[in-house]
Amino acid sequence: MASGTHDSDWRHFQDQVAEILNLIPGCVARVNQPVHGTRIGTVRVDVLAELRSNGFVFRVIVECKFWRRPIPQEKVFSLNTVVEDIGADRGYLISEIGVQSGAAEYLSHPSNVRALTFEEFKSIVANDRFIENCGRCGVKILVSRRPRAGKTAHCRACYRLLRATPRRLEYAAEHERAMSLASTVGFQLVGGTLGSDVKSSLETAVAGGAGFPNATQPLAIFRESLAAAIRSIESQPRGKLFRDFLSKGPYERQGKVPTKLRHQRLSDQETADTIAFIFSHMVNCFKGALTEMLATAPCLHILRELQAQKRLPREARLYVGDAVWAAPREGEGFAKAADLHILVERRSPKATPSVVLAGVAEVKSYFLPPERLGRQLDRHLARARRGLRVGKVAYGPDQITVGCKGGRPAVRITVLPADWNLPRTFHFERKDGRKLLHVDPGVPPSDADSVERVGPLQWRVTLRWSKEALDAAAYEMTFWFMEKLGEVLYSSGVPKEWEGMSPAQAGQNAAKMMLYYAILRCRTVRNNQRAIALYNSYGFGYALGMSFRNPQGRREMLWPQDLDEILATGQNKDGCRIV
């Protein structure tokens, strides 16, 4: 697969190819898909695209070779074998450079395999148009002319949103700022396998017609969701404090803060508040967003099954997150509703619009007893009876019916994480005179989410990913966010003592340094333990960082030599272990 290049470059290349294929109307392209043939058995292909047109379905296999050398002949042969054996319509080899002369010779004979460079591939898909990135969410789009200098093109969803939302609204301005941070990242942000699962969950939901707020493509949905989490972090009063934490920081020594530095540094109370804020609110915002995205595919699966059993009508649709709002307990406007809704909207020009609320889902990234989850679902249903807003349409109490066909109650779904732990095993690799730490990645023990029916219309989903794995991903996202803010902070220049650093490096440096100072300034054990947990996880990853404990069970600051000692004897010289 990826020989001679970095794995993430290759993944990125493969994702780009699929993203571009998805620009073709009627084409659905997915990466790393299994295919089955009589001779070859089951193999995975880089990209499998299905093109539907006038009732025909064409299957195309694409192998992506992100190589700096021409593709040898045997790769062409093996793709040809796969194409023939699974009965695909065509196979494409896409590479940066092209093919070796032997392969070119082979390809000049009639066959169903073609080789293209990435540029050739792009120009075929563009077909006299241009491939651009949306100026807001960054997804790829096809435009008939290049935007004029200083202007950007937008995808359809963003175009509608920018026209519909008066940008002077504070909500929009804050959200747009968050979106500008989110618009550069891909699914890899949350880690290889987990990222692929988030992506495939969103793909399943989108293909099944699920409604998401503000976006229609999986990557754009991912970025919107990330931006919503960032906005919710920044709109908190302590979100502002967090920015100060990175720019001013805690006092960098022990003892009293000197009077002349009082306004240039955070007070100890402010430092403690920031640590508590990162530890609870910030991590939870990212974790909630991630878990909700993972929950979409299994919820869609349940919807489909109920439709197959004729318990739900064909028009029933799944709505995710802020696509639906509920009436608040008092006052005007709308408030956050259940995590997912199953709705049947009835809109015709002749009759008053109405909606059937056929089901609700509650998604948690931590464990909660079934009774409490049940009570939350009850509350969601009760609130929804008082009013719902779906997209731009508001429904009053007399326009809402709750329940399934034949007077049955509404479907109730709970989604919880699994409970396996991440491995704590690691090793060092020597590369170019540097020592690189490798912590073994968490591999989910089961390869699918578990979907159980626990009552006539009640379902319990246990995600493939565990609470600890989701925690770890949320921590990584938190650190990414800190670095990004730092990068913005230093975009107009880095401090003199960090000369030679890029704004991104300065951002990373600031995040790590401030967490270190915070440990020095913590006045309570609880806060000190939290600051250490953050600092250690930032440097060594969540699995090791959270679980490095002294003989009394308390967290201690972790240093590289501790890991050497632990590898040798199972503990460091002070008896600290990874538990």
Which residues of the chain form contacts with Zn ion (CB under 5 A)?
134, 136-137, 155, 158
Q: Do 363 and 467 form a contact (C-beta atoms < 8 A)?
A: no
Least Cβ distance, residue 132 to Zn ion (angstroms): 11
Using the minimum distance from each CB to Zn ion, give the nearer residue, 136 or 521.
Answer: 136
Q: Do 535 and 561 form a contact (C-beta atoms < 8 A)?
A: no
Least Cβ distance, residue 154 to Zn ion (angstroms): 5
Q: Do 147 and 153 form a contact (C-beta atoms < 8 A)?
A: yes
Least Cβ distance, residue 180 to Zn ion (angstroms): 12
Q: How far apart are CA 26 and CA 104, in angstroms?
A: 31
Using the minimum distance from each CB to Zn ion, give the nearer residue, 137 or 463.
Answer: 137
Interhelix angle 467-489/283-308, nearest 10 degrees? 130
Using the minimum distance from each CB to Zn ion, give the nearer residue, 154 or 412.
Answer: 154
Q: How far apart are CA 180 and CA 133, in angstroms?
A: 13
Q: Do 62 and 92 form a contact (C-beta atoms < 8 A)?
A: yes
Give kind and range of the element (H or E) at residue 473.
helix 467-489
Q: How far apart are CA 112 and CA 117, in angstroms?
A: 17
CA dihedral 239, 244, 247, 252 (to 10 degrees): -120
Interhelix angle 525-540/503-521, nearest 10 degrees? 150
User: Residue 502 contacts by C-beta under 8 Å, 6 or more apart in sequence?
Assistant: 494
Using the minimum distance from each CB to Zn ion, give the nearer residue, 137 or 473.
Answer: 137
Least Cβ distance, residue 134 to Zn ion (angstroms): 3
3-state SS, 496-545, equals HHHCCCCHHHHHHHHHHHHHHHHHHHCCCHHHHHHHHHHHHHHHHCHHHH
Least Cβ distance, residue 161 to Zn ion (angstroms): 8
Q: How far is CA 187 from the centre of its chain?
A: 5
Residue 181 identity (one-letter amino acid): L
CA-based R_g, the chain, Å: 26
Q: How far is CA 200 from the centre of its chain?
A: 11
Task: Give all strands (DSSP E) within 288-433, no chain letters.
Answer: 317-320, 324-326, 335-336, 340-346, 354-363, 388-390, 393-395, 400-402, 411-418, 426-431
Residue 27 to residues 18, 22, 55, 125, Cα–Cα distance (Å): 10, 6, 13, 11
Least Cβ distance, residue 227 to Zn ion (angstroms): 11
H-state helical runs in 259-389: 268-277, 283-308, 370-386
Residue 157: is it exposed, middle or buried by C-beta count within 10 angstroms (0-12/13-18/19+)?
buried
Q: Torsions phi, psi of 124, nearest 5?
A: -65, -45
Least Cβ distance, residue 207 to Zn ion (angstroms): 19
Using the minimum distance from each CB to Zn ion, give the nearer residue, 16 or 547.
Answer: 16
User: Residue 263 contacts by C-beta under 8 Å, 6 or more apart in sequence?
Assistant: none
Least Cβ distance, residue 162 to Zn ion (angstroms): 9
